Structure 1
Amino acid sequence: MPKVHVFARDHINTDEIIPARYLTTDIESELAKFAMEDYDKDFVNRVKPGDIMVTGSDFGCGSSREHAVWCLRGAGISAILAPNFARIFYRNAINNGFLALESEDVVAAFEDGDEADIDLATGKITNQRTGQSVAFSPVPQFALDVKAAGGWLEYMRDHSKAELEAETLNAESTEAGHGHAGHDSDENPAPGTQRA
């Protein structure tokens, strides 16, 4: 049963996920050695294949480096759950066939080291210690198809241009701003702007 690694802080950035000093390779097994090093030096010694990360909001903010996804996947992480993700990290996860699942209540439901079961069909993750289940946003079929193909490039090879242009991916993490500082929401438009 996969274990959960809880990083409850909001706004964990890509430099904390994989420090820039290690961006000399794109080989996942090499990047994996340094995953989360500046946040938790012991993380790579605890993580096992199939484990799950639970994080605070806006996970993966900062630079657009795909290395952040590659190092976590290389370390063995099978899915990350957070209330929302930085837009570019979320898209990089989808493009690389990596599960980034949005769940508003997930941080409060787990402690570091808990075992969990993810059910993609029902959209629930269950804490085996407490029996508590929390919902996550359904994974769009498109994202599951990309994951099954092994990533976006592999998926593109098997689909026509018309099929690819018809795909959509609407999730909180793909919406501009999703309530983060520095972005105006529909409820609080910037001065001098109008709602569409």
Structure 2
Amino acid sequence: MIRGKAWVYGDDVDTDVIIPGPYLRTKEVKELASHAMEGIDPDFAKKVRPGDVIVAGRNFGCGSSREQAPLALREAGVACVVARSFARIFYRNAINVGLPVVEANVTCRQGDEVAVDFSAGTVIVDGLTFRGTKLPDFLLVILQDGGLVAHRRREKKEKDGRL
């Protein structure tokens, strides 16, 4: 379970506002993080703190398939994105880079404390529990390992250790 401050956004937050195109040339994740959400919230990267949670409406991460979008959020300190729904490619990219995502229809205000239980698929705000979609166990393992690449490395290491 994670607990963090809520950053609240609406519907259709696209990858162009999560990490604007001009910053895609860099491979430095710290540089990407310094521009996270700049297209919709220019001060986000300066104010977000490790463990904070983005709470959004429908279709979060729509637009292009840029993997840098969830990577920038994760590196900026976002511990989880909770949204009513996600663009499919963003959802998968988030899992791949180790950024937890939970589909749930949550009502809260900017700055509220949010608690997210990934294994139960629940989000708690001000004593109210919002039920969402529980992540399948295999995705929880990938997230616990830090993303898909780290997960596959761990699997390979375990396999090689058994030979």
Same fold (TM > 0.5): yes
- Unaligned regions of 5+ residues in structure 2, if any? 157-163
Q: CA deviation at 1:158?
A: 3.8
Give the match's secondary structure for 2:140.
helix
2:118 is the alignment partner of 1:132: no
Aligned equivalent of 2:37: 36
Aligned length: 154
Deviations 1:146-190 (A, max 9, x none): 112221122223447xxxxxxxxxxxxxxxxxxxxxxxxxxxxxx
1:5 corresponds, among 4, 7, 25, to 7
2:120 corresponds, among 102, 119, 122, to 122
Distance change >3 Å, CA 83–CA 44, structure 1 → 2: same
Structure 1 segments of 4 or more deviating over 6 A? none
Q: Is the 8 A contact 2:74 2:99 kept in 1?
A: yes
Amino acid at match of 1:35: A
Aligned equivalent of 2:23: 22
TM-score by length of 2: 0.88
Q: Is the 8 A contact 2:71 2:99 kept in 1?
A: no
Q: Between the two proteins, what is the percent identity of the paired residues?
A: 43
Aligned equivalent of 1:180: none
Which protein, 1 or 2, shows the higher relative CO under an 8 Å CA cutoff with sep ≥ 6? 2
Deviations 1:11-54 (A, max 9, x none): 11111000000012232211111011110111112210000000
Q: CA deviation at 1:70?
A: 0.8
Bigger radius of gyration, 1 or 2?
Answer: 1
Which of 38-47 and 83-92 deviates more?
Answer: 38-47
For 1:1-196, what aligned pairs fall within 5 Å after superposition? Answer: 1-8=3-10, 10-103=11-104, 105-106=105-106, 109-127=107-125, 130-159=126-155
- Unaligned regions of 5+ residues in structure 1, if any? 161-196
Q: Going by fraction, where is strand more abundant, 1 or 2? A: 2
Give the match's secondary structure for 1:40.
coil
Q: Whole-Å Cα distance in 1 between the matches of residues 28 and 102 of structure 2?
A: 24
Q: Whole-Å Cα distance in 2 between the matches of residues 95 and 144 of structure 1?
A: 11
Q: Is the 8 A contact 1:28 1:73 kept in 2?
A: no
